[in-house]
């Protein structure tokens, strides 16, 4: 029986204008009209956004139940037949499920380990950079790859790594010797290439948000620390990192919800007959279903499944963050 | 007001600190190069002839400099019209999105607000669940927004992910300032407008960039909701000219006069479609990238 | 805060309420009223920039058919998505260019969204199918849901470096053995004379389609006597890959790969770059559609206008059994279907068909394929010659024709039923003549796919698993990653994963449709 005010309220700055401090720990009778009036400005500010969510996010939500039907666009929602859990059964018992799950999760794991931290590291490095000219130039350049479409990234990958004339491929071959490896074709190199592509394309863009967090740090804190005799490392550890930590936590929790989402277009472009076994993920699977079956229902069912996993992950990581002493999303 | 340090303060850095600085420069320069070289290739390729692109593996400057691709792009007014349309839609859209996001995030940052958790849950739910392409299309249709520019803005008015990040930023702001304002008699609205917003410049800059780019790059909305080719946005044309044809059968069955765009044209289109954002960026950059200037005069 | 707090329940309640409320709305309600009878709505793919509805070409077309045209041009890259959304809305155009085999269309058509035109087209002289095989190909389980857009019925051929043949003293191939000899010579005998062993024979790209999608592999398999997609063996229809000829053909190709006669990146080369190795002098053979020959001629011309006649085209080959088997095309690309959205009665249907009949008449076909005679082209014998191309208005007409309006033609396409473009040089002209000669010759031995119009339910339901089994296995086998035994195991896997059902369904449906 939780209310708003229960355990998580650890606000040190207790102030008289705030209602019922934590000490009470009893359920305060909620007086709706009074609260509406008291916080009227806040509710007013909240209203437009709320309307948006209801109209554009929740009204179409009935579409989720398409997962339980055999939806034919022409027949419309009501005209389409109800099939219950058929699509889910097909999904879970199909021959591909295990492989899809494995590929999706492995890719997600690699993304968490390599791609998630990269913008943080780069943002921190940039923050510490003392050469202004370089700092500005790097900042102005690293985000540009984000704008290139995956088609171009795929062509560039091919250009650089092709077994025939790939510049990087030949360069590596020059150093390592032996037989020429076809990086683009072989299954073993599929995941590394995907991760490299993600790193190249997304890191720069990702630094922006962390730079914003660092920009908000009061430089007086650094001054004070220096005066107190703190060296560079200590300043980093005690000022910079804590400044960026909440952002990292929030980003981590939110991103966990998308764990099962893989970059569909990116993977689709890099899939070949030779690496399909490791390349197939839920998203490409669903796309292919759309082409071969035109089945929206199946696609929605997979989306629903991913959504459920996503919700569990978000609330799970939120709890984890709280246990570790961070603020979490709530 | 914060005092500005006028004198140059010298510190003696440890060896470790200097080594780090050097490494840092090296690493970041390498990063910049790795990022930039392929981009330069794309730029160079947009000014090269097709035969050069297919014969030379990787180059930074074309042997033969031509501007055919750009001529082609600007030869019809379609491209320019789409460009202007997109600029307008992006400008208006970003403002709307920012307004809605900021105003909704602020109350959600107030933990004492009744109903806050409910709304937050509703928002988080939409992060992972969506009704889908067709139901959303039907809602847009029922609102009479089909084939209008509003259909490119309103359905995406708030990005739940951004909303939550903005909310967290608001939560990190020092309470003391807000408190002081309240004690001085400001109501919540004034606190929001006069204290919180001015303090949130990095956030506003960051998310106006994110939202603007989101609309700029969005091709799904124009595809679904716009029928009138005069209202096409830039991405429709970009995709038209660069998308890989995943539909296998059609690749072969096309007629002779349907020539697929050459590589050079694809590059040129990308350059033109990206350039406007590159102009926009520096204006915002100073807001979210101040960083810390250690050991030098403060700007 | 536990998962089951009151808040969660509240969220669930709200959501359920919304779901329940919305469940009653949305979807196929009253779908529009009567059509404005002097306007025809159309949806068609677009390959460039969209025409101006008030442009000269559209005016001319409207004048010819006596009705206003309201065309929704959709970029071809997203045609599929847009089609689906259109089918879900209540704004389905009267006439829609559509892939009649796509599952969404089939479901919609069978649910009554489109007119069944079986037998109805014969009384319209310009809509009546002109080729029986093509008509059969464009059906859906025996029913005709649209007017097919004609394409050449056979286009397969081999493009070879003419100058390399000459240098090595070789003749154009007649049989598969000849082709092998030539490929080996190309790879080993230094045909470009640069003293380095850096050339190979055949160039194959990463194929974007699945089995029986006119890939070089399918063509070669046909030469060896394998069926095209499906074939009759012992009175029953079997899939083409379950034949000894299929295995033999791939064994042969595997040898090519092993001996370095094929480009090393055949599993990954982007088909958009297919011409590059040929033009750069890395490989000397391409098995594809005949128009690639003129494409290559143009590319060589761009490189060196003085010496560019380096391309020759050869038709289908005789296989090891001494017989020639040719790989045909389907003869069409997409159909024009008539929706029942506004066209509700037989009378209205007749009206629309009459309008289309006018559109596809000889004059209409010329408008759609060439343009406005005297404005953007003039007639020179059997050819169309571009006129006034510097005038921006004329360029607009040309653009409208080439990128848009030609998509509305069912009776004519490039080189068929309207004027062909006059070739710019003798080499191209000779090449184009060859297309027709080779096509007519090869059509005599064409191996058609008897099950092209059959849509088996299991094939649709399990497509995402089954479709990639054979093409993937083929590539793995060719690249040496698996053995022939393993390839056969993959074929068995196809059967076990649902293929057996498909075979049964195809046979049953085929018999019902009149085989």
Rounded to an integer, the average pLDDT of A201-222 is 87
Angstrom distance (rounded) from CA C330 to CA C149? 11
Under an 8 A CB cutoff, do C27 and B138 touch? Answer: yes
Which residue is associated with the tokens 């974007």?
A: C208
Rounded to an integer, the average pLDDT of B158-185 is 88
Rounded to an integer, the average pLDDT of C295-311 is 88
Sheet of C420-421, strand order: C377-380, C383-386, C420-421
Rounded to an integer, the average pLDDT of C43-54 is 88
- pLDDT band of A152, cuts 50, 70, 90: confident
Q: B129: burial class by Cβ within 10 Å (0-12, 13-18, 19+)?
A: buried
pTM of the model: 0.85
Domain boundaries for CATH 3.40.190.10 within chain C: 39-152+332-373+381-421, 156-327+427-452
Nearest CB partner across the interface for C28, out of A61, A79, A95:
A79
Q: DSSP string covering C29-48, please?
A: -----PPPTTEEEEEEEESS
Q: DSSP string covering C83-140, please?
A: HHHHHHTT---SEEEE-TTSHHHHHHHHTTSB---TTTGGGSTTTS-S-HHHHHHT-B
Name which of A183, A330, A195 is nearest A262 in CA terms. A195
Question: Touching check for C480 and chain B: CB below 8 Å?
Answer: no
- Spell out the domain ranges in chain B: 77-240
Does residue A50 form part of some domain? Answer: no
CB-CB neighbors (< 8 A) of B224 in chain C: 81-82, 85
> In this predicted structure, what is the pLDDT of residue A179?
79
| Full domain range(s) for residue A271 | 99-323
* β-pair partners for C413: C416
> In this predicted structure, what is the pLDDT of residue B3?
54
Angstrom distance (rounded) from CA B43 to CA C348? 54
Under an 8 A CB cutoff, do A294 and C107 touch? Answer: yes
Under an 8 A CB cutoff, do C263 and A158 touch? Answer: no
For residues C339 and C113, the answer to whether their CB atoms sit within 8 Å is yes
Count Cα atoms within 13 angstroms, Cβ side, for B73.
Answer: 26
Strand, coil or helix: C177: helix
Question: Touching check for C4 and chain A: CB below 8 Å?
Answer: no
* β-pair partners for C95: C42, C338
Count Cα atoms within 13 angstroms, Cβ side, for A234.
Answer: 12
C369: pLDDT strictly greater than 50: yes
Rounded to an integer, the average pLDDT of A252-260 is 89
Q: Tell me: domain C39-152+332-373+381-421, CATH 3.30.460.20, correct?
A: no
CB-CB neighbors (< 8 A) of A61 in chain B: 129-131, 135
C510: pLDDT strictly greater than 70: yes
Reported as type and span, the H/E element at residue C333 is: strand C332-338
Angstrom distance (rounded) from CA C154 to CA C18? 56
> In this predicted structure, what is the pLDDT of residue C134?
93
The rounded mean pLDDT for chain B is: 82
Nearest CB partner across the interface for C19, out of A65, A73, A155:
A65
More confident residue, A172 or C255: C255
Question: Touching check for C384 and chain B: CB below 8 Å?
Answer: no
Angstrom distance (rounded) from CA A103 to CA A128? 37
Question: Touching check for B165 and chain A: CB below 8 Å?
Answer: yes
> In this predicted structure, what is the pLDDT of residue A8?
29
Tokens of A190: 């599929």
A21: pLDDT strictly greater than 60: no
> In this predicted structure, what is the pLDDT of residue C415?
67
Sheet of C146-150, strand order: C68-75, C39-46, C95-98, C332-338, C146-150
> In this predicted structure, what is the pLDDT of residue C261?
95
Tokens of B2: 């914060």
> In this predicted structure, what is the pLDDT of residue A281?
92
Minimal C-alpha gap between C88 and chain A (Å): 4
For domain B77-240, give the fold: MetI-like fold (1.10.3720)
Return the percentage of chain C with pLDDT > 90, whole number. Answer: 61
Nearest CB partner across the interface for A158, out of C26, C112, C270:
C270
Question: Touching check for C46 and chain B: CB below 8 Å?
Answer: yes
Q: What confidence tens digit (pLDDT) does each residue in A90-146 have? A: 889 888 899 999 999 999 999 999 999 999 999 999 988 888 888 888 888 888 998
Tokens of C315: 């038709």
Q: DSSP string covering A272-322, please?
A: -TTTHHHH--HHHHHHHHHHHT--HHHHHHHHHHHHHHHHHHHHHHHHHHH
Return the percentage of chain A with pLDDT > 70, whole number. Answer: 91
Reported as type and span, the H/E element at residue A82 is: strand A81-82
- pLDDT band of C18, cuts 50, 70, 90: very low
**Residue C146: alpha-carbon gap to chain centroid:** 16
For residues C174 and C318, the answer to whether their CB atoms sit within 8 Å is yes
Rounded to an integer, the average pLDDT of C288-301 is 89
For residues B242 and A152, the answer to whether their CB atoms sit within 8 Å is yes
- ipTM of the shown complex: 0.84
**Residue B126: alpha-carbon gap to chain centroid:** 21
> In this predicted structure, what is the pLDDT of residue A294?
79
C167: pLDDT strictly greater than 70: yes
More confident residue, B236 or C347: C347
Lowest mean pLDDT among B49-63, C295-309, C393-407: B49-63
Tokens of C172: 């154009």
Angstrom distance (rounded) from CA C5 to CA C1? 7
Pairing of strands C236-239, C230-233: antiparallel
Name which of C304, C284, C301 is nearest C159 in CA terms. C284
Q: What confidence tens digit (pLDDT) does each residue in B107-142 have? A: 999 888 888 999 999 999 999 998 888 889 989 999
> In this predicted structure, what is the pLDDT of residue B140?
93
More confident residue, C157 or C270: C157
More confident residue, A292 or A148: A148
The rounded mean pLDDT for chain A is: 84
For residues A242 and A129, the answer to whether their CB atoms sit within 8 Å is no
Q: DSSP string covering A175-196, please?
A: HH-SSPP-TTT-GGGHHHHHHH
Lowest mean pLDDT among A54-68, A293-307, C330-344: A293-307
For residues C140 and C102, the answer to whether their CB atoms sit within 8 Å is no
Which residue is associated with the tokens 């600085």?
A: B21
> In this predicted structure, what is the pLDDT of residue C201?
94
DSSP tag of A53: I
> In this predicted structure, what is the pLDDT of residue B259?
57
- How many structural domains does chain A have? 1
The rounded mean pLDDT for chain C is: 88
Under an 8 A CB cutoff, do A52 and B171 touch? Answer: no
> In this predicted structure, what is the pLDDT of residue C63?
94
Lowest mean pLDDT among B3-12, C17-26, C188-197, C428-437: C17-26
DSSP tag of C209: S
Angstrom distance (rounded) from CA C34 to CA C203? 55
Question: Touching check for B138 and chain A: CB below 8 Å?
Answer: yes
> In this predicted structure, what is the pLDDT of residue B2?
52
> In this predicted structure, what is the pLDDT of residue B76?
73
Rounded to an integer, the average pLDDT of C18-43 is 54
For residues B159 and B213, the answer to whether their CB atoms sit within 8 Å is no
Phi and psi of C70, rounded to 5°? -120, 100
Task: Give me the residues of C, 473-492, that contact A with CB < 8 A.
Answer: 474-476, 479, 481
Under an 8 A CB cutoff, do C84 and A184 touch? Answer: no
Minimal C-alpha gap between A4 and chain C (Å): 10
Where residue A239 sits, what CATH number does that domain have?
A: 1.10.3720.10
Count Cα atoms within 13 angstroms, Cβ side, for B104.
Answer: 26
Rounded to an integer, the average pLDDT of A255-275 is 89
> In this predicted structure, what is the pLDDT of residue B11?
54
Rounded to an integer, the average pLDDT of C435-452 is 94
For residues C187 and C201, the answer to whether their CB atoms sit within 8 Å is yes
Q: B219 vs A239, B215, B240, C78, C411, CA distance in Å?
A: 42, 8, 10, 10, 34
Cβ contacts of A185-189, under 8 Å, gap ≥ 24 = A185/A272, A185/A274, A185/A275, A185/C265, A185/C267, A185/C268, A185/C479, A186/A274, A186/A275, A187/A274, A187/A275, A187/A277, A187/A278, A187/A279
Pairing of strands C283-289, C156-161: antiparallel
Strand, coil or helix: C233: strand
Which residue is associated with the tokens 């009501």?
A: A78
Q: Tell me: domain C156-327+427-452, CATH 2.40.100.10, correct?
A: no
Question: Touching check for A272 and chain C: CB below 8 Å?
Answer: yes
Strand, coil or helix: C385: strand
> In this predicted structure, what is the pLDDT of residue C33?
44
> In this predicted structure, what is the pLDDT of residue B260?
59
């Amino acid at each position: 029986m939780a209310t708003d005010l229960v355990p998580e309220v650890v606000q040190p700055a207790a102030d008289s204008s705030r209602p019922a401090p934590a000490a009470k720990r009893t359920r305060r009778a909620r007086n709706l009209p009074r609260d509406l009036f008291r916080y009227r400005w806040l509710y007013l500010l909240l209203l437009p956004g709320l309307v948006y969510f209801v109209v554009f996010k929740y009204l179409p939500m009935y579409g989720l139940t398409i997962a339980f039907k055999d939806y034919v666009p022409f027949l419309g929602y009501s005209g389409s037949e109800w099939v219950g859990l058929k699509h889910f059964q097909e999904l879970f018992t199909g021959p591909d499920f295990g492989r899809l799950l494995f590929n999706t999760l492995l890719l997600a794991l690699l993304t968490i380990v390599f791609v998630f931290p990269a913008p943080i590291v780069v943002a921190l490095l940039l923050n510490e950079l003392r050469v202004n000219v370089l700092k500005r130039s790097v900042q102005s350049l690293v985000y540009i790859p984000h704008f290139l479409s995956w088609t171009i990234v795929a062509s560039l990958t091919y250009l650089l790594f092709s077994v025939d004339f790939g510049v990087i491929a030949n360069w590596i071959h020059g150093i390592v010797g032996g037989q020429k490896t076809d990086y683009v074709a072989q299954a073993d190199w599929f995941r590394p290439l995907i991760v490299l592509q993600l790193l190249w394309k997304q890191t720069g863009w990702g630094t922006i948000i962390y730079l914003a967090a660092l920009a908000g740090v009061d430089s007086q804190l650094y001054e004070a620390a220096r005066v107190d005799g703190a060296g560079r490392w200590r300043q980093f550890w005690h000022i910079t990192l804590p400044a960026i930590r909440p952002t990292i936590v929030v980003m981590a929790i939110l991103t966990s919800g998308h764990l099962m989402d893989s970059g569909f277009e990116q993977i689709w472009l890099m899939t070949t007959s030779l690496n399909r076994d490791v390349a197939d993920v839920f998203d490409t699977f669903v796309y292919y279903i759309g082409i071969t079956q035109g089945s929206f229902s199946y696609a929605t069912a997979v989306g629903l499944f991913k959504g459920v996993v996503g919700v569990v992950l978000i609330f799970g990581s939120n709890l984890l963050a709280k246990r570790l002493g961070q603020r979490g999303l709530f | 007001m914060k005092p500005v340090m006028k004198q140059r303060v010298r510190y003696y850095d440890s060896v470790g600190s200097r080594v780090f600085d050097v490494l840092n420069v090296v690493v970041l320069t390498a990063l910049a190069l790795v990022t930039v070289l392929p981009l330069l290739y794309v730029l160079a390729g947009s000014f090269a002839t097709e035969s050069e692109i297919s014969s030379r593996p990787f180059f930074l400057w074309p042997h033969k400099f031509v501007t055919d691709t750009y001529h082609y792009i600007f030869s019809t007014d379609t491209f320019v019209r789409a460009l202007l349309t997109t600029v307008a839609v992006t400008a208006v859209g970003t403002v709307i999105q920012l307004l809605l996001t900021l105003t909704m995030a602020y109350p959600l940052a107030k933990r004492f607000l009744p109903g806050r958790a409910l709304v937050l849950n509703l928002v988080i739910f939409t992060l992972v669940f969506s009704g889908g392409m067709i139901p959303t299309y039907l809602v847009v249709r029922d609102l009479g927004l089909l084939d209008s520019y509003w259909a490119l803005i309103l359905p995406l008015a708030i990005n739940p992910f951004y909303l939550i990040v903005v909310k967290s930023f608001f939560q990190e702001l020092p309470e003391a300032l807000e408190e002081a304002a309240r004690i001085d008699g400001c109501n919540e609205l004034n606190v929001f407008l006069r204290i919180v917003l001015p303090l949130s410049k990095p956030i506003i800059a960051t998310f106006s960039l994110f939202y603007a780019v989101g609309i700029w790059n969005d091709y799904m909305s124009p595809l679904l909701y716009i029928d009138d080719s005069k209202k096409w946005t830039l991405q429709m044309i970009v995709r038209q000219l660069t998308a890989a044809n995943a539909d296998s059968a059609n690749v072969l069955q096309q007629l002779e006069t349907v020539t697929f765009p050459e590589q050079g044209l694809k590059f040129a289109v990308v350059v033109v479609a990206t350039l406007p954002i590159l102009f926009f960026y520096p204006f915002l950059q100073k807001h979210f990238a101040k960083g810390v200037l250690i050991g030098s005069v403060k700007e | 805060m536990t998962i089951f707090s009151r808040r969660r329940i509240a969220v669930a309640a709200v959501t359920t309420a919304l779901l329940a409320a919305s469940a009653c709305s949305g979807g196929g309600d009253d779908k529009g009223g009567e059509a404005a009878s002097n306007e025809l709505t159309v949806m068609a793919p677009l390959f460039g920039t969209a025409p101006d509805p008030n442009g000269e070409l559209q005016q001319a077309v409207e004048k010819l058919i006596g009705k206003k045209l309201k065309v929704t041009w959709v970029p071809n890259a997203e045609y599929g998505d847009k089609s689906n959304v259109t089918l879900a809305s209540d704004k389905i155009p009267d006439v829609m260019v559509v892939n009649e085999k796509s599952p969404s269309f089939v479901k919609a058509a069978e649910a009554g969204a489109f007119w069944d035109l079986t037998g109805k087209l014969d009384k319209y002289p310009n809509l009546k199918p002109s080729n029986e095989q093509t008509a059969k190909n464009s059906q859906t389980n025996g029913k005709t849901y649209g007017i097919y857009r004609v394409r050449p019925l056979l286009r397969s051929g081999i493009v070879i470096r003419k100058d390399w043949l000459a240098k090595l003293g070789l003749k154009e191939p007649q049989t598969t053995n000849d082709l092998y000899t030539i490929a080996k010579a190309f790879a080993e005998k230094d045909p470009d004379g640069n003293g380095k062993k850096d050339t190979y024979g055949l160039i194959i790209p990463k194929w974007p389609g699945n089995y029986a999608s006119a890939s070089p592999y399918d063509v070669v398999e046909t030469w060896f006597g394998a069926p095209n997609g499906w074939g009759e063996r012992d009175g029953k229809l079997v899939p083409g890959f379950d034949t000894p000829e299929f295995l033999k053909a791939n064994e042969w190709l595997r040898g090519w790969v092993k001996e370095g006669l094929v480009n090393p990146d055949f599993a990954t080369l982007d088909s958009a770059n297919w011409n590059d190795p040929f033009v750069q002098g890395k490989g000397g053979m391409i098995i594809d559609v005949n128009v690639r020959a003129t494409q290559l001629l143009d590319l060589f011309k761009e490189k060196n206008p003085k010496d560019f006649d380096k391309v020759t085209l050869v038709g289908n080959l005789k296989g090891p059994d001494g017989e020639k088997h040719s790989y045909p095309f389907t003869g069409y690309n997409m159909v024009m279907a008539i929706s029942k959205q506004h066209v509700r009665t037989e009378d209205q249907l007749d009206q629309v068909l009459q309008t289309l009949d006018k559109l596809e008449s000889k004059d209409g076909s010329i408008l759609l394929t060439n343009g406005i005679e005297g404005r953007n082209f003039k007639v020179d014998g059997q050819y169309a010659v571009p006129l006034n191309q510097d005038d921006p208005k004329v360029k607009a007409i040309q653009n409208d024709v080439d990128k848009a309006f030609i998509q509305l033609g069912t009776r004519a396409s490039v080189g068929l039923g309207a004027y062909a473009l006059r070739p710019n040089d003798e080499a191209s002209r000779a090449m184009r003549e060859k297309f027709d000669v080779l096509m007519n010759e090869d059509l005599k031995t064409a191996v058609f796919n008897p099950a092209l119009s059959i849509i088996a339910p299991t094939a649709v339901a399990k497509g995402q698993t089954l479709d990639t089994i054979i093409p993937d296995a083929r590539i793995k086998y060719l690249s040496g990653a698996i053995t022939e035994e393993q390839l056969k195991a993959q074929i068995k896997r196809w059967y076990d994963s649902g293929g057996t059902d498909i075979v049964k369904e195809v046979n049953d449906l085929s018999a019902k449709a009149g085989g």
